[in-house]
Amino acid sequence: MLVRLNKFIAESGITSRRKAEELILQGRISVNNEIVNELSFKINPDADDVLVDGERIKPRRYVYYLLNKPSGFVSTTNDEKNRATVTDLIKTNEKIFPVGRLDYNTTGVLLLTNDGNFSNLLTHPKNQIPRVYEVHLDRLLNDDDKTSLLRGVYIEGEKGVFSRIDFPKIKDRKRVIITCTEGRNRFVKKMFAALGYTVTSLNRISFAGILADVPPGKYRKLDISEIKNLIKKYAE
Ligand code: URA
């Protein structure tokens, strides 16, 4: 696939689109050993050799991981209290960051990437990304409260709602599987707290349909088909 030279340079991460144009106009870019100073020039990133001031520009490599987050890690790239972070668990030289957050003690599906557009897509409220959590409560969830959570309760002045609530074991109403499409900070805990329940453990079973299919603390790369499906589903 051909891409515009200025777009290719900017996406490689070395500079902005505007500065890339300047580099082209200043005659500092060569393609296959020929100086190019045409802004509309297109290249094939897989075949053409693009140099700035004689140095090869490597196309940016986007990476996408699924981590089954264990308890005891923060979902940031570095922590002011020096606690272990989720990025410590993944071996890569790319600058990855988590797509949204899970609390320090929350476990389960967390995606990480270095692709900001992909992350925005999966965290933007308008996309209503489904999240499924297994929740342990300090007491039995009664029917009235179940109904309230499905109709919506106010947390910090804004209504929140669970789209589905199931009891995996009919007789154990302290254990609940909930589905929601909100990513507000500590959303699940706050929803239950609004009705006087304490969440004693929280595990994200799936995010955007991606399941935690690796053991806790382990990770895998997303398949190209998973990435494409997510982009197709939410980018249009
Ligand atoms: N809701 C919470 O309360 N905590 C999480 O980690 C995720 C969702």
Whole-structure pTM value: 0.83
Q: What distance in angstroms lies between residue 148's CA and the mean position of ligand 1's atoms?
A: 19
User: pLDDT tens for residues 121-151?
Assistant: 999 999 999 999 999 999 999 999 999 999 9
* Contact by Cβ (8 Å): 166, 173: no
CA-102 nearest atom, ligand 1: 6
Same-fold call for 3-56 versus 130-207: no
Please state, for a pLDDT cut of 90, what percent of the chain lies above it: 83
- Residues within 6 Å of ligand 1 by CB: 102-103, 106, 186-189, 202
User: pLDDT tens for residues 196-235?
Assistant: 999 999 999 999 999 999 999 999 999 999 999 999 999 8
The Cα–Cα gap between 57 and 197 comes to: 55
CA-204 nearest atom, ligand 1: 7
Nearest in space to 102 (alpha carbons), one of 29, 11, 206, 204? 204
- CATH match for 3-56 among 3.30.1060.10, 3.50.50.60, 3.90.79.10, 3.10.290.10: 3.10.290.10
Q: What distance in angstroms lies between residue 154's CA and the mean position of ligand 1's atoms?
A: 16
- Name which residue sits closest to atom 3 of ligand 1, judged by CA: 186
